[in-house]
Structure 1
Amino acid sequence: MLMDKENQLKKLLMALLLLLIGSFFFRPQTIQAAGLPFQVMPVLPSNQREPDEAYFDIIAPANSQTKLQLKVKNITTQPVKIRVKFVTLQTNNNGQLDYNMKQTRDHTLTYDANQLISGDQQLTLPANSTTIYEAQLRMPASNYDGIIAGGLVLEPITAAAKVKKGQIGITNRFSYAVPVIARNEDKTWLPKLQLASSKLVQIDYHNQLKTRLNNPSVTFVNQLRVEQVVTNLNTKKVYRKSTSKMQMAPNSHFDYRLNLPEKIPTGTYQVVTTAYYVKAKRAGYLAGNQQRYQYRQKSVNQVVVTG
C-alpha cells in the first residue's frame, strides 16, 4: 500500500513538472520593423494548438499537410515585391532565437523545418492592397516525438543601391518572421543541455573564451542563465561573466563567449561554467541572481595559454 502511494506521488509530481515546463513554452514576439512597407497577420488554421497566439503552433498527424496562410497588406502607395524564405529556427551567439542566421546544422536535428515548408518564394502587392499568401507544411512521414520549429520570413525586394568607388555601402535590411511550430500530439518534453569544453579563440583580434552550449532535446530550453568563472591558477586572477534571459531552439547550439585581455598572461586557466534553466519559485537550484531554477548543468575544464 505504501509503495502504491509513493508511485502515485511520483506520477503526480511528474505531471506537475511537465505542466510547469509547458507554461514556460516558447512565446515569440513578431514585431514589425519600422522600415517595412507591409504588414503581416497569420490566418490560424483549425488545428492550431493555441487559437489566441500570433504565430503558427500546429498539431498535425504524420504525413499530413496544413495550409499556412498570411494576410499581407501593402501600406504604401507603390507596388511592393516581397521575398519569402522558409527557415529552421536556430540559436545565435547571444542566446536568442534567430530566423535569419546560417548556422551549421546541429547534429541532433532530425527534421529541418525549411525542408517541410513549401510555397511561392515571391509575391507582388499593388499599392494599398491586401492579399492572402499561402504555403504548405507537410509533416514527416512517420510520427516524430518532439517539436519542429521554423518560420516564414518576409522581406521586401529592393533595388541594390549604387556605391561610388572609395565609399562604403551600408544596406539596412528589415524582415518579418512568423514562427511555425509543429508537433504530432499535444504534449511537452523535458529540456536538456550539454556544455562542451572551452577554447581560447581570437575574434577580430580580440581574445575570447568560447564554450559551446548544445540543446540536444526536441523542445525549447527556456529562461537560460549562464554563469562563467575563469581563474588563472598561477596568478589567481579571475574573469567572470553572467548572462540571463536566454533561450535555445530545439536541437540547436550556440557559442557562449567571455572577453579576455588583449595580452592575456600565459598559464593554466580553470573554467567553471554553470547553466541554469526553467525558473521555478521552489526549485532546488539557486543561481547568482538569487532566482531558482528547475535545472542546472555544470562543467569544469582547463585551458592552457602559451606564449
Structure 2
Amino acid sequence: MKKASYLLVIVLCSFYLLAGWDSAVQADAAKAGETEIGYHIYAILPENQKNPDSSFFDLQMKPGQKQTIEVAVANTSVEDQTYTIEINPAYTNDQGFIDYSEKKETEEKQRELTIDHIATYEKKITVPKGQTEKVPITLTMPEEAYKGELLAGIKVSKVKKQTNQVGIANTYSYLLGLRLTESDQKIQRKIGVKKIEPTIAFGKASVAIDLINPVREAYGHLTYHVEIKNEETGKKINEKTYSGLQLAPVSTYHFSIDWDDEQLVAGNYQLVLTIEDKKDNQWTFHRNFAISPDAAKQVNTVVVQENRFPYQALLIGIVGLIIGAILIFCIIKWKNKRRTRRKL
C-alpha cells in the first residue's frame, strides 16, 4: 500500500491572481517547508524574463523559439535524495481557484496548446547531500503565433524512503510557476455555460453549473451571483453570492451551488447567473433546467448516507472498549490470585 500525502510549499500558486498572498506569507511557508523536507527550489531567471523581481518564470517568447530554462534543486539534507519533476498545466479546481498541484486530463487539455506539450525535461534527478543541481527544461514554441498566456506549475517532489513494512511514504512537493506569452495584446474575455445538473458537492445536495473559459487568459477577482426559482410558481428557491474566485485559461469550472442542507426536489427551475470581474466585464446567463425524480432521489440518498451519524461504528467501538476493560480486569484479578496463593 502506498500513501502519498502532499506538503505543497507554494513558490507561486496562482501568480498575481491570489488575493491576500504576500511576500511574508510566502517566505514563512518556504522556510517552514525547507526545515521539514530538507530541500528547496528556485528559478534561474533568463534574460527574457518579463519581471526580474518575480520568483517564478514569466517569459516573453516568440513563435518557433527554442529555449532551455533551468530550475535549481538544492538538497540541504544529510543524505543523497531523488526528486521527480513534472509540469502541470493550470486548471480550475472545484473550489474555484487556479491550481497546478495535479496533472489533470481535461477535455480542453486534449485539444488545446499547453506547456507540457512543448516542454521536454528529465522526469527524475538525484542530488547529492548538500549540493544543488540544475534541472534543464527545453521549451519549443509552435511555429504559429498564439494570443494570450500559457500557465503551468513545475512540480518538484521528494519521495521519502519507506519507513515500515506496509509501504507508507510521504511525498513532499514544491510548485514553481511558469507563464509564457508572445505578445501583450489584450484578449476579449469570454465565459460560457456548458451544462447544469444535480450533484453532490462537499457532502451537500447541490446543483452544478459547468462554466467554460474558452480563451488563453487567467481571470481573477470574480464575483458570482446566482438565483434559482421554481419555473411554475416563480418562488425563489436558492440565492448565493461568491467572491474572489478565479478561472484558469481554457478550462472548465464545476461551479456547485449547495442547497443549504436541504434535499433536492424534482421539478423545473429557472437560473439567473451573473459574473463580474475587476475589469468592468459582466456576463449574465438565463437558463432553464430540470431535476428529474430519479436524479433528486439519487443525490438525496447518497447525501443522507454520507451524513448519517455512524452509530454502528460507535456501538462496535464501545463494545470493544467494554470487552477490553473486562479482559484487563480479569487478567489483573487472576494475577492477584496467583500472588496470594504463592504467599500461602
**TM-score by shorter chain over 0.5:** yes
Structure 2 unaligned regions, length at least 5: 1-14, 294-344
The 1:160–1:239 alpha-carbon spacing in structure 2 relative to 1, beyond 3 Å, is farther
**After superposition, where does 1:117-266 map in structure 2 within 5 Å?**
117-160=119-162, 173-202=171-200, 206-233=204-231, 234=233, 236-260=235-259, 261=261, 263-266=263-266
Alignment-mate amino acid for residue 294 of structure 1: D
The 1:93–1:205 alpha-carbon spacing in structure 2 relative to 1, beyond 3 Å, is closer
Alignment RMSD (CA, Å)? 2.7
Question: Shift in Å at residue 229 of structure 1?
Answer: 1.5
Residue 299 (structure 2) pairs with residue 298 (structure 1): no
Query: Partners in 2 of 1:271 and 1:160 — Cα distance?
Result: 51
Alignment-mate amino acid for residue 269 of structure 2: Y
Report if the CA contact (8 A) 2:276-2:282 is conserved.
Answer: yes
Partner of 1:288: none
Question: Shift in Å at residue 211 of structure 1?
Answer: 0.4
Report if the CA contact (8 A) 2:42-2:73 is conserved.
Answer: yes
Report if the CA contact (8 A) 1:86-1:150 is conserved.
Answer: yes
The 1:60–1:121 alpha-carbon spacing in structure 2 relative to 1, beyond 3 Å, is same
Partner of 1:268: 268
Query: Partners in 2 of 1:193 and 1:160 — Cα distance?
Result: 46
Q: Which has the larger radius of gyration?
A: 2
DSSP-derived class of the 1:115 partner = helix
Question: Shift in Å at residue 232 of structure 1?
Answer: 2.9
CA deviation profile, 1:45-81 (whole Å, cap 9, x unmatched): 0111111111111112111112221122112222221
Partner of 1:72: 73
Query: Partners in 1 of 2:220 and 2:110 — Cα distance?
Result: 18
Alignment-mate amino acid for residue 207 of structure 2: L
The 1:87–1:245 alpha-carbon spacing in structure 2 relative to 1, beyond 3 Å, is same
DSSP-derived class of the 1:106 partner = helix
Question: Shift in Å at residue 195 of structure 1?
Answer: 2.5
Give the TM-score of the pair, scaled to structure 1. Answer: 0.77
Query: Partners in 1 of 2:247 and 2:266 — Cα distance?
Result: 34
DSSP-derived class of the 2:255 partner = strand
CA deviation profile, 1:32-54 (whole Å, cap 9, x unmatched): 47353311110100111111111
DSSP-derived class of the 1:196 partner = strand
The 1:237–1:249 alpha-carbon spacing in structure 2 relative to 1, beyond 3 Å, is closer
Alignment-mate amino acid for residue 57 of structure 1: D
Alignment-mate amino acid for residue 37 of structure 2: L
Alignment-mate amino acid for residue 144 of structure 2: S
DSSP-derived class of the 1:294 partner = coil
Report if the CA contact (8 A) 2:159-2:169 is conserved.
Answer: no
The 1:191–1:127 alpha-carbon spacing in structure 2 relative to 1, beyond 3 Å, is same
Alignment-mate amino acid for residue 270 of structure 2: Q
Alignment-mate amino acid for residue 257 of structure 1: S
The 1:120–1:297 alpha-carbon spacing in structure 2 relative to 1, beyond 3 Å, is same
Which structure is higher in helix share?
A: 2
Query: Partners in 1 of 2:226 and 2:217 — Cα distance?
Result: 24
Report if the CA contact (8 A) 1:88-1:99 is conserved.
Answer: yes
Structure 1 unaligned regions, length at least 5: 1-24, 280-292
Aligned residues: 265
